[in-house]
């Protein structure tokens, strides 16, 4: 029996077992969305290296395992990880193994959960509602609310493509929860929204399917940070999809920080659509996972819209991080800037594939893409593929990619000032990463990036 047929049998059976208890069941549009997505996933199967977009990323380790969906969370969160949550103040939603944990979540601005008293029967109150122009709730709860479900019908599943993207289709069929973030027109939020996803890695291999929707109304401003953490070194799969919609003149700062364990697999699809004069700044930070794949696609669908995509991945051992980006210039006078940096040690592998598409009507496009990579060992590898597809004639587009090692002259200078080789290497690597980290405006993400980089030095640099 072929691998594709095996996948079809396993995951078709799983879907038939869980479909009746997934959120939104009974809503005709949700049922159709799931059914179409699952059929497409079963038809596509998991990607192989024969596909151009997966040429350097072999998902055979995922295919060899059978991942069960999480029905309920029984595993406890270690105290050190609970304490770490304090670094991500409210408003925040915390998901444990893909399901909303109400006790760890809260909405009060700038404080540390838990916030509300439990009900008399010991259950925490529902989360969700309108607070200073912000609606923040679990997706499962939002689908159960007729008013919110009516809004979701116009957006959920409308942006992230599933016709040729197996992981996105898999998520669309199987998602059990996620975050619904809606910002009212004209609202300016001064506190970032934190969405924290914790995988316990307990028991047999499990898969979670976080599904997030971020809607920013006209002229609104918001920062949203997604953080993926692990409570153990167990084997698990995170298959996440986030859809972002920026209304006319809206400003969104979006952060995605991936700190999965060495036994975890992480695949994330992010699709953003920007209206006229809207702005998106994205920071993608990757420190973990045995295999991490980030697909980020931005549609500049309004005249004068702009996006900045920054990325940093720091990996060692046998780990692999694959960043695929696409910026689609659809309307005139749009601007895009992109900078991704990679630090690779040991036998780590990295992939950067960045596409810039300029459509025929997107005159006066201004686009710049850069990829910078630092290899710390002879066995580390990076594959870069910048792509330009230009159909307009009045544009300014450029791209560049570099791959190098630590500069010997800089090392010699620092050692001549009394530093040993290890300290000198750390300074140079921190300097390389600083361009990305210092651009992070959300203090919790910037601090966590610095902490994780320090931990990477302490635990890994000597072995690279």
Q: In whole angstroms, give the CA distance from residue 280 to residue 270.
A: 13
- pLDDT for residue 231: 86
Confidence category of residue 237, pLDDT binned at 50, 70, 90: very high
Is 438 part of a structural domain of the chain? no
pLDDT tens, 31-68? 999 999 999 999 999 999 999 999 999 999 999 999 99
- pLDDT for residue 109: 57
Is 162 part of a structural domain of the chain? yes
Report for 56-70, 79-93, 104-118: range of highest mean pLDDT: 56-70
Confidence category of residue 464, pLDDT binned at 50, 70, 90: very low
- pLDDT for residue 400: 94
Give how far Cα 431 sits from Cα of 160, 340, 374, 381, 436, Å: 35, 15, 12, 21, 10
Q: In whole angstroms, give the CA distance from residue 437 to residue 155.
A: 32
Range of the structural domain that residue 349 is part of: 3-407
Q: In whole angstroms, give the CA distance from residue 149 to residue 144.
A: 7
Peptide bond into 25 cis (omega under 30): no
Q: Could you give the number of structural domains in the chain?
A: 1
- pLDDT for residue 117: 35
Give how far Cα 168 sits from Cα of 21, 59, 197, Å: 20, 15, 18
Q: What is the mean pLDDT of residues 347-356?
A: 98
- Which 3 state secondary structure label does DSSP give 364? coil
What share of the chain in percent tops pLDDT 90? Answer: 83
User: Which residue's structure tokens are 């599943």?
Assistant: 157
Is 399 part of a structural domain of the chain? yes
- Chain mean position to CA 228: 8
Average pLDDT of the residues of the chain: 92
Confidence category of residue 108, pLDDT binned at 50, 70, 90: low
Confidence category of residue 74, pLDDT binned at 50, 70, 90: low
Confidence category of residue 5, pLDDT binned at 50, 70, 90: low
- pLDDT for residue 233: 81
pLDDT tens, 250-276? 999 999 999 999 999 999 999 999 999
Contact criterion met (CB below 8 Å) for 263 and 234: yes
Confidence category of residue 99, pLDDT binned at 50, 70, 90: very high
Is 455 part of a structural domain of the chain? no
- pLDDT for residue 71: 78
Confidence category of residue 126, pLDDT binned at 50, 70, 90: very low
Contact criterion met (CB below 8 Å) for 285 and 311: yes
Is 137 part of a structural domain of the chain? yes
Q: In whole angstroms, give the CA distance from residue 183 to residue 192.
A: 12
């Amino acid at each position: 029996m072929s691998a594709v047929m095996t996948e079809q049998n396993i995951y078709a059976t799983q879907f038939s077992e869980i479909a009746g208890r997934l959120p939104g069941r009974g809503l005709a549009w949700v049922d159709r969305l799931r059914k179409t997505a699952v059929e497409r996933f079963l038809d596509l199967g998991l990607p192989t290296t024969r596909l151009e977009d997966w040429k350097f990323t072999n998902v055979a380790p995922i295919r060899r395992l059978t991942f069960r969906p999480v029905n309920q969370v029984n595993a406890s969160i270690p105290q050190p990880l609970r304490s770490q949550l304090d670094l991500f103040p409210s408003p925040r939603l915390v998901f444990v193994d893909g399901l909303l944990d109400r006790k760890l979540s809260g909405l009060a601005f700038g404080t540390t959960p838990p916030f509300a008293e439990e009900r008399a029967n010991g259950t925490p109150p529902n989360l969700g509602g309108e607070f200073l122009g912000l609606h923040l709730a679990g997706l499962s709860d939002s689908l159960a609310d007729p008013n919110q479900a009516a809004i979701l019908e116009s957006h959920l599943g409308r942006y992230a493509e599933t016709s040729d993207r197996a992981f996105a289709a898999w998520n669309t069929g199987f998602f059990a929860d996620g975050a619904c973030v809606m910002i009212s027109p004209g609202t300016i939020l001064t506190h970032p929204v934190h969405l924290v996803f914790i995988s316990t890695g307990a028991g047999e291999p499990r898969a979670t399917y976080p599904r997030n929707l971020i809607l920013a109304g006209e002229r609104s401003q918001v920062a949203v940070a997604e953080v993926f953490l692990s409570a153990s070194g167990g084997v698990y799969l995170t298959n996440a999809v986030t859809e972002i919609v920026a209304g006319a003149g809206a400003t969104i700062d979006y952060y995605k920080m991936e700190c999965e364990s060495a036994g975890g697999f992480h695949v994330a699809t992010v699709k953003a659509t920007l209206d006229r004069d809207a702005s998106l700044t994205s920071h993608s930070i990757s420190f973990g996972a045995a295999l991490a794949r980030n697909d980020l696609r931005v549609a500049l669908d309004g005249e004068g819209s702009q996006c900045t995509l920054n990325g940093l991945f720091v990996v060692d051992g046998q780990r692999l991080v694959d960043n695929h980006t696409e910026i689609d210039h659809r309307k005139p006078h749009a601007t895009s800037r992109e900078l991704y940096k990679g630090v690779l040690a040991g036998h780590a592998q990295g992939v950067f594939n960045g596409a810039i598409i300029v459509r025929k009507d997107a005159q006066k496009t201004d686009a710049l893409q850069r990829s910078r990579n630092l290899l710390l060992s002879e066995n580390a590898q990076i594959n870069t593929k910048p792509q330009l597809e230009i159909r307009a004639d009045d544009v300014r587009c450029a791209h560049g990619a570099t791959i190098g090692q630590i500069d010997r002259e800089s090392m010699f200078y620092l050692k001549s000032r009394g530093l040993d080789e290890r300290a000198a290497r750390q300074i140079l690597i921190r300097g390389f990463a600083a361009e990305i980290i210092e651009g992070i405006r959300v203090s919790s993400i910037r601090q966590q990036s610095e902490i994780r980089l320090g931990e990477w030095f302490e635990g890994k640099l000597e072995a690279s």
